[in-house]
Structure 1
Amino acid sequence: MSVHDDLSSAQRSLDDLSRTVTRLEQQLGSGDLEVRRVRVDADHLRESVALLRAAVAPPDAPRRPDLVPIPDTPYDGSLWTDSDDEGLGSRDRHAP
């Protein structure tokens, strides 16, 4: 199974759990501490799975492009013959 299938299965199980807890609340009353703790825990699990689903990228989402390595060797100086050194003025002129 893929991660998305597993997350969907967990979500369905939590939906079943929530319905069961609702039935228990109706039978036992929602004022009991134990029933409230089970409800809070079930809601917490639902929120955690929702956060996990949001964190996992969908399978058809575009991947981040691979990083391009930049070499440490100096660039060819002839690439810069037609540009000024920023902040230093032109090569054949003096700075003001």
Structure 2
Amino acid sequence: MSVHDDLTSVQHALDDLLRSVSRLEQQLGGGLEIRRVRTDADHLRESVTLLRDASQGPAATQRPALVTISDAPYDISLWTDSDDEGLGARGRHAP
């Protein structure tokens, strides 16, 4: 199954869930519990919509550009004003 097919299947299942929640809401009234279930179902619908949008966007089909890192040694002058990592500052002694 493709991602599109899976997302469509999830969307159909959510539609069925929301219809069932609506029927329960009519039968049980609008109590706190049914409102929580409705809110959760609505959040799921929004999340699936965001997921569908993300899967169809250009970022989903394009790979990030690769960055080449040279094997040449770095210029030592880049670190003249820094401390030796893990060793503390020059000229200071441990207690």
Smaller-chain TM-score bracket:
0.5 to 0.7
Describe the superposition over 1:43-85 as per-residue Cα deviations: whole angstroms up to 9, x where unpaired.
Answer: 0000000000000027xxxx54895988x8xxxxxxxxxxxxx
CA distance in structure 2 between the aligned counterparts of 1:65 and 1:49, rounded to whole angstroms: 23
CA distance in structure 2 between the aligned counterparts of 1:6 and 1:51, rounded to whole angstroms: 14
Larger Rg: 1
TM-score, L = length of structure 2: 0.61
TM-score, L = length of structure 1: 0.60
**2:37 paired with 1:38:** yes
Q: Given the superposition, is the C-alpha separation of residues 8 and 69 from structure 1 closer, same or farther in structure 2, using an over 3 Å criterion?
A: same
**Equivalent residue, structure 2, for 1:25:** 25
CA distance in structure 1 between the aligned counterparts of 2:48 and 2:15, rounded to whole angstroms: 11
- C-alpha RMSD of matched pairs (Å): 2.6
Unaligned runs of 5+ in 1: 73-96
What is the aligned-residue identity percentage?
62
**Equivalent residue, structure 2, for 1:7:** 7
Identify, as 1 or 2, the structure richer in helix: 2
> What stretches of structure 1 move > 6 A for 4+ residues in a row?
none
Unaligned runs of 5+ in 2: 71-95
Write the letter of the residue equivalent to 1:36. Answer: R
CA distance in structure 1 between the aligned counterparts of 2:42 and 2:17, rounded to whole angstroms: 10
